[in-house]
Structure 1
């Protein structure tokens, strides 16, 4: 008998395959005492396991897809740092020696103690770090138990259909390893569409369902299931008619992707003749090549923080200059380079101090204005590179006019130094602000006087506006791009930019989602920057849009005062963008 389940569609696509259930952090841990002669051997076994687990993560870091957002790399970096933390590794070694117990048991006890400490913290951000402890110790446990390959070595042989992985939860590192083994889809009991794992699944074009409570109990290994990542459905034991229907869906999706590829060299011009700039978000110099393959007109966001991460020193001016030159040389269109956005979950090792609330602490432009030596080195490299291509400098997390003025003063000082040294730079280099703090959106008319452009970072803007952590499973249902306050701030920023005669782009996840394309066009947005994987899909939505009509319609919707009518009208607008 067929079984139909509903969950959260975290990554679109249809997959058909046999179930393989995984247990994630839910492992059967052996507990036994050791004789004295066995203690040092056990310690050596644990330390070797820690070395292997770290090597796994280091390899995963190198295989993060180019279109994956920065948070994925930061997530892996956090786990690598935990692998080196004495509070975990050295303390487990001491437990083995002092309590004369096996490594798995000692690791379990230490993990439980650390998780308990984080659980009792008042700060919500730090409480979420308990999940990182659980993920890191689960990886160590799998190595100790010889279960380091999540689906084993023989589950998916060359003659078998790719399996559908069903688990309680999966980390981004798990997903990358599983993807290498050729899985068809993932289904997890926990998680949501804004989790790191969901974002990564979308980057990998891997169909995914999340929040499927009890699914491991309801399914059995090897039974055939259908996953519909767009509708959020799982169908177990499908009959012939259902299989035929979903096979046709897969064929239709393949045709759709081929159709999108034809749009690569077409201009992104709406049905009523409005040109919309289609830009790409990239992290590494080679990523801009992928952006070119999908017809992106330039780079709307180049993240620089990974030049600074996972190293004991900071990159020199010359090292940075070489990278920025490479990005400019590999891109035909303009390149917007964001200055260092470190802090929160992207540590660069400047301090061992743990901030009470890193997401609201010393990060991004605040850090750069405090560590001016670090900032000056980057500014000099950026200015020198600007002589060799079309570049814009974007400053992250601006919240006050004072920050913008201070940053521009430092840029001017760096420019004066280069001029005195006889080094070339673009004397008309555009300097802009990333609008991701509600205060910046509210002050946009004033802030625009000191900016040459704005870029809306909706990921942070939404979560700061609604006071929620978008990757916290307990509350991420509150993360709502269509909330009236969010749309008001977006509209205010676009209107302020237009009034000041400066361009406004959007580089957050919202720009990558075709469901919101009509809405954003209606709000007046004319520059979209997104993962390269989303460029063609959003371009198609742009080409079918009547921008003038959308602007009138969106203005009417935003004027509605009845909450139910407002939501119904917006939902209707987003539904029009579905395939």
Structure 2
């Protein structure tokens, strides 16, 4: 065996002996160990959908591919015929090369095999085959032939664009099980990045872990990994280029290590760790019906974050006392021109309310933008054409207020659902008084429209997400306007420290223990409690056991997290005596910073961990 040890996110070469292994390092974002065969989602300059299709849809999907090939051939032939007489001969020759590549069996024929054997949709299959062929071109010694890779990429890009505008596309089949055609081997996902819309397709599949080239600890990819409760490593730079389809891969989500083609000794060690983790999970599930009460009798509410109506069942099973955050934007993903209307949204919200059996449900208005674009706004457009920094652009409440008709439509749907149970409305990314006024104006207009149409709605509490430093600093104004507040710590950290949380290049600067971040969190909790307003934390900090004692000491009594994290946080709460946290606040980890009260009346200051 040859072990190739690499610095973080890079590599020193590939061992071509298939009995040799390779290691890569990235950022650990979801704990545990995953072992399986690699399934690659190849990167492309064109954003494409990735989903599995039903066996009965294979022939139809291949027909789509061949129709796209014929359409591109006709397009290239037309360009060639329309060349002016004085056009350079090289232009016609270049079009000949593109036509030759287009009709080569190594492209469309092999792509059809991906559809047949793996049940990939046509776009995914084409991207996967491009990755295979691109590697062949890279290995060519002849400079001229090696440079033809760019021609191949251009041909594939044309095909993808035709496929993306094909109205006969097979709808994503979330229920398809990849194991039906992958055998008994477990599967792990390897990609440059995984879009939130793609994660919806992979959510209920058999992937036991995933690796991405890009991303940080609180990028959306990382959050989804934790929500799925599967091991993941992000920011591994070249992983999707180095790992090949069907390679055996070990993902160490604790250390941020990815091992390709591990030896039998390494495999056995990691399988033992897998068994230990599973035993710990089983032990924690016994706490699901135990009330979350500290040793000194402080009752704590543990709510669930969910993304789709079907997630409500998992929230109840985990022992959640309600839904603290329903990310409604996921209803809008994987949709193009057919966005969910008022009635469809109303039915989705009612499904959650009914499933929670009388427990409260907090619905956040759409947080579209940044790393969660609508299909009708391509990620490329949002990231490169319309916004230099999408995290600071038209997203969340800014987007909703810019689309007043759609915003009122969603508000009406939420209001109607409130007639069936306890529904609370949560508004993301507020920072300006004008946004507060705009939100309540839209809400008043929605109520008026429902009243005029004779449709029932309940009394809905309205809350604000505190995720922009400006909101935390003017918290008293927010508490004047809103019934409750919820701290979105992921964005609060990002904006306080001026760090793109999805960028692995600055991931080491993303620091939830930063004194400024903790002071803003403590300030918000303290102000809300003083005013008698409900306050919760729904960001990743809520589901991190190392922060549980700190947040309890700040006075927090309401946490919201993914259902898979509830048991671990409950265990931490059951072991805590809040009376002992007033003088010295320690995180659960031995290397966590120490916090002591500030003299100004209840804030916190950080003492960095010792080296």
TM-score (ref. length: structure 2): 0.66
Name the residue aligned to 1:557: 595
Aligned pair count? 488
- Contact 1:42–1:103 (Cα < 8 Å) also in 2: no
Name the residue aligned to 1:325: 350
User: Is 1:260 the equivalent of 2:284?
Assistant: yes
Instruction: Name the CA shift for 1:382/1:55 in 2 (closer, same or farther; >3 Å).
Output: farther
- What is the rounded CA distance, in whole Å, between the counterparts of 1:438 and 1:403 in structure 2? 15
Name the residue aligned to 1:374: 406
- What is the rounded CA distance, in whole Å, between the counterparts of 1:55 and 1:382 in structure 2? 43
| Structure 1 counterpart SS, 2:426 | strand
User: Is 1:486 the equivalent of 2:531?
Assistant: no
Name the residue aligned to 2:82: none
User: Is 1:454 the equivalent of 2:470?
Assistant: no
Name the residue aligned to 1:538: 569
- Contact 2:213–2:237 (Cα < 8 Å) also in 1: yes
- Contact 1:449–1:500 (Cα < 8 Å) also in 2: no
Instruction: Name the CA shift for 1:2/1:539 in 2 (closer, same or farther; >3 Å).
Output: farther
User: Is 1:438 the equivalent of 2:480?
Assistant: no
Name the residue aligned to 1:521: 552
| Structure 2 counterpart SS, 1:423 | coil
| Structure 2 counterpart SS, 1:461 | helix
Q: What is the CA distance between 1:208 and its match in structure 2?
A: 3.5
- What is the rounded CA distance, in whole Å, between the counterparts of 2:155 and 2:389 in structure 1? 25
Name the residue aligned to 1:312: 337
Deviations 1:236-274 (A, max 9, x none): 97796x877655543332221111111111111112111
Q: What is the CA distance between 1:283 and its match in structure 2?
A: 1.7
User: Is 1:335 the equivalent of 2:376?
Assistant: no
Q: What is the CA distance between 1:513 and its match in structure 2?
A: 1.7
| Structure 2 counterpart SS, 1:426 | coil
- Which stretch shows the higher mean deviation, 101-110 or 196-205? 101-110
- What is the rounded CA distance, in whole Å, between the counterparts of 1:218 and 1:41 in structure 2? 25
Alignment of 1:239-250 (within 5 A): 248-250=272-274
- Contact 2:214–2:502 (Cα < 8 Å) also in 1: no
Q: What is the CA distance between 1:196 and its match in structure 2?
A: 4.5
Deviations 1:418-442 (A, max 9, x none): 3344432223x21110111110000
User: Is 1:293 the equivalent of 2:317?
Assistant: yes
Name the residue aligned to 1:407: 439
Q: What is the CA distance between 1:295 and its match in structure 2?
A: 1.0
- Contact 2:583–2:596 (Cα < 8 Å) also in 1: no
User: Is 1:42 the equivalent of 2:68?
Assistant: no
- What is the rounded CA distance, in whole Å, between the counterparts of 1:179 and 1:342 in structure 2? 20
- Which stretch shows the higher mean deviation, 512-521 or 228-237? 228-237
Instruction: Name the CA shift for 1:49/1:517 in 2 (closer, same or farther; >3 Å).
Output: farther
2:370 to 339, 344, 368: 344
- What is the rounded CA distance, in whole Å, between the counterparts of 1:453 and 1:494 in structure 2? 11
Q: What is the CA distance between 1:103 and its match in structure 2?
A: 9.2
Q: What is the CA distance between 1:360 and its match in structure 2?
A: 2.0
- Contact 1:175–1:201 (Cα < 8 Å) also in 2: no
User: Is 1:108 the equivalent of 2:141?
Assistant: no
Deviations 1:159-186 (A, max 9, x none): x6x5778x79564699999999967655
- What is the rounded CA distance, in whole Å, between the counterparts of 2:118 and 2:488 in structure 1? 29
- Which stretch shows the higher mean deviation, 224-233 or 439-448? 224-233
- Gaps in structure 1 of 5+ consecutive residues: 27-32, 61-75, 84-100, 113-132, 138-150, 572-579
Alignment of 1:384-403 (within 5 A): 384-403=416-435
- What is the rounded CA distance, in whole Å, between the counterparts of 1:431 and 1:396 in structure 2? 11
- What is the rounded CA distance, in whole Å, between the counterparts of 1:263 and 1:284 in structure 2? 25
Instruction: Name the CA shift for 1:380/1:44 in 2 (closer, same or farther; >3 Å).
Output: farther
- What is the rounded CA distance, in whole Å, between the counterparts of 1:174 and 1:384 in structure 2? 30
